[in-house]
Amino acid sequence: MEDCLFCKIIKGEIPSKKAYEDEYVYAFWDIAPTAPVHILVIPKRHIATLNEVTGENSDVIAKIYEAIPKIAQENGISEDGYRVVSNCNQAAGQTVFHIHFHLLGGRELTWPAG
């Protein structure tokens, strides 16, 4: 997707602080963190929202969830705990329309979410 911010980050056209990368997944530190560890985990393949996940592309979602525990381990939040959040569309506050999973940790996280 030519106009997608996160596709540009994957291509290196916009700089980011990389946290993890493999064939399917890219992860980078959020520019406006809401926790001491706030990393965005995204598929290299453009998928706009969770509503566009199907049997045809869900393999990359599995790859994301394989990467998350590795990233958590590397950043020291595995044992204390962490949260993974994906906002879908306007009511949930999605602002970038390339599916992404917020990995949040390093502090006590309240529940329920706002």
CB of 19 to ligand 5GP, least distance (A): 10
Cis peptide before 112 (omega within 30 of 0): yes
- Cα–Cα dist 54/50, whole Å: 9
Sites for ligand 5GP among residues 52-111 (CB under 6 A) = 87, 93-96
- Candidates 3, 12, 23, 32: give the one binding ligand 5GP (CB under 6 A): 32
CA 28 to centroid of chain Cα atoms: 8
Nearest-10 Cα torsion for 108, 106, 114, 32? 150
Question: Which H helix or E strand runs over 79?
Answer: none
100 has catalytic annotation: yes
Pairing of strands 37-43, 18-21: unpaired
**Shorter beta-carbon distance to ligand 5GP: residue 79 or 111:** 111
Write the binding mask 68 to 97 for Zn ion: x where contact by CB under 5 A, - elsewhere: ------------------------------
Write the binding mask 5 to 24 for ligand 5GP: x where contact by CB under 6 A, - elsewhere: x--------x-x--------
* Residues within the interface to ligand 5GP (CB under 6 A): 5, 14, 16, 28-32, 40, 87, 93-96
